[in-house]
């Protein structure tokens, strides 16, 4: 059914209005169908350790969560949740009758304005970075505080960080870098132990919030002002976190493009507008954690296909993580 669903929804007649061409993008958890001006995003019927889209009811719920959460930052992009129905001409978005699937309907943004592409081209300046920092600081000031002390506790942070051990064998086999994994885990554990009191103070002081959770340049468009989209809807563990985690991810992403100057400008502007002066003590660890996650994600690609691109990306983030660990 998966391939059939993808093929049927990629047909022009699946759209409720005329389209000349449909582009299809695919991740391990979703299909994205792009018309000239409109995008429909469909969640795959999959279940992993970190998400469960296995039933139609759950997919509808997470579509609704995606719209709810992303409307906090870009309501103009997320139009709503629409049904997919069977018609005499096949499957159709926004069709009449009983829903066989659901989709998130979005406004399409110009691909050439995606921040990751602009960073590759060296076209991102300090003005955009400062604007982004102000938007994020304002966003963090108004989103929901999380009172459950399970989130961003020292125990949870260790568990999340040390999950990279699941791919240590692949990293050692393909890159001979198993000791780098051991080193960053040792440094991370020590930092968390030494700063346990501070981490618990962050909880008490209201810095654990329902954050974006996936803040990097691939999820930002630089239009008249920066537009941030695609936050984490499928996992409270990834979303309910210290506001410093969003900042750390973005700062690490700038570093990964070799834009350390932009990374520092972003962090400086965020601190100025948020008045979160404690953040700078935690930032090296949060950058380390995000580099660790990126290394792990790319190492998972190594398990499927040990190609040179996957090796290069895994090693890039491992070395970045090693550098951050040495700063702790």
CATH number for position 95: 3.30.200
Lowest mean pLDDT among 1-5, 7-11, 194-198: 1-5
Does the structure show a pLDDT above 90 at 27?
no
Q: What is the mean pLDDT of residues 200-212?
A: 97
Q: Is the pLDDT of residue 1 over 60?
A: no
Instruction: Please tell me the predicted confidence (pLDDT) of residue 26.
Output: 87
Note every long-range contact of 115-118, with CB atoms under 8 Å and residues 24 or more positions apart, other chains counting. 115/217, 115/218, 115/220, 115/221, 115/222, 115/226, 116/216, 116/217, 116/218, 116/220, 118/222
For residue 273, give the nearest of 74, 131, 125 by alpha carbon. 131
157/98 same-domain check: no
Residue indicated by tokens 């008490």:
204
State which residues form the domain around 65. 2-108
Shared domain check, 227 and 159: yes
- Is-contact 189 151, C-beta < 8 A? no
Closest by CA to 282, choosing from 200, 221, 160, 217, is: 200
* 171 pLDDT tier (thresholds 50, 70, 90): very high
Q: Is the pLDDT of residue 307 over 90?
A: no
173 shares its domain with 303: yes
Average pLDDT, the chain: 94
Cα 84 to Cα 96: distance, rounded to the nearest angstrom: 8
Q: Are residues 72 and 119 in the same domain?
A: no
Domain end, chosen from 67, 89, 108, is at 108
Provide mean pLDDT across the span 155-180.
95
d(CA 117, CA 121): 6
Q: How many CA atoms lie within 13 A of 87 on its CB side?
A: 16
Percent of the chain whose pLDDT exceeds 70? 99
* 121 and 76 co-located in one domain: no
In this structure, the answer to whether residues 135 and 60 fall within a common structural domain is no
Q: Of the residues 87, 108, 129, which one is the last residue of a structural domain?
A: 108
Residue 206 to residues 50, 124, 142, 267, 301: CA-CA distances in angstroms? 25, 32, 11, 20, 37
Residues 96 and 150 in one domain: no
Return the closest-CA partner of residue 283 out of 298, 225, 274, 69: 274
Q: What is the pLDDT of residue 51?
A: 87
Whose CA is closest to 124, among 51, 221, 215, 47? 221
Number of folded domains in the chain?
2
77 lies in the same domain as 123: no
- CATH assignment at residue 212: 3.90.1200.10
Lookup: tokens for 27: 């991740």
Q: What is the pLDDT of residues 228-243, one digit of tens each?
A: 999 999 999 999 999 9
What is the average per-residue pLDDT within 117-129?
97
Residues 143 and 221 in one domain: yes
Q: Which of 79, 108, 137 is the last residue of a domain?
A: 108
Whether the pLDDT of residue 196 is over 90: the answer is yes
Q: What is the pLDDT of residues 34-77, one digit of tens each?
A: 999 999 999 999 988 788 999 999 999 999 999 999 999 999 99
Residue 40 host element (H or E):
strand 38-43
Does one domain contain both 12 and 58?
Answer: yes
Mean pLDDT of 250-272: 98
Residues 92 and 125 in one domain: no
Whether residue 63 contacts residue 104, with contact meaning beta carbons closer than 8 Å, is answered with: yes
């Amino acid at each position: 059914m998966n391939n059939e669903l993808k093929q049927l929804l990629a047909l022009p007649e699946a759209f409720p209005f005329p389209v000349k061409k449909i582009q299809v993008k695919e991740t391990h958890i979703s299909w994205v169908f792009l018309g000239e001006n409109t995008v429909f995003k469909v969640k795959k019927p999959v279940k992993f350790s970190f998400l469960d889209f296995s039933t139609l009811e759950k997919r509808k719920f997470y579509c609704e969560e995606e719209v709810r959460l992303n409307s906090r930052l870009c309501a103009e992009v997320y139009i709503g949740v629409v049904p997919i129905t069977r018609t005499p001409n096949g499957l159709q978005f926004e069709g009449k009758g009983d829903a066989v699937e659901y989709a998130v309907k979005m406004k399409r943004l110009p691909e050439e304005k995606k921040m990751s592409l602009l960073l590759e081209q060296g076209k991102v300046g300090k003005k955009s970075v400062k604007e982004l920092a102000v938007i994020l600081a304002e966003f963090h000031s108004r989103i929901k505080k999380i009172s459950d002390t399970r989130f961003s506790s020292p125990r949870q942070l260790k568990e999340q960080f040390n999950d990279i051990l699941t791919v240590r064998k692949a990293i050692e086999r393909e890159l001979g870098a198993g000791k780098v994994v051991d080193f960053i885990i040792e440094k991370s554990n020590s930092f968390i132990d030494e700063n346990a009191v501070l981490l618990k103070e962050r909880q008490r002081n209201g810095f654990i919030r329902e954050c974006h959770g996936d803040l990097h340049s691939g999820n930002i468009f630089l239009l008249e002002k920066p537009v941030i989209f695609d936050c984490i809807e499928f996992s409270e563990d990834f979303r309910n976190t210290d506001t410093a985690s969003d900042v750390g991810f973005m700062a690490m992403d700038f570093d990964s493009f070799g834009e350390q100057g932009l990374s520092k400008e972003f962090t400086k502007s965020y601190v100025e507008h948020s008045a979160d002066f404690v953040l700078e003590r935690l930032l090296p660890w949060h950058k380390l954690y995000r580099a660790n996650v990126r290394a792990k994600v790319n190492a998972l690609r190594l398990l499927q296909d040990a190609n040179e691109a996957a090796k290069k990306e895994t090693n890039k983030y491992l070395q970045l993580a090693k550098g951050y660990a040495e700063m702790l």
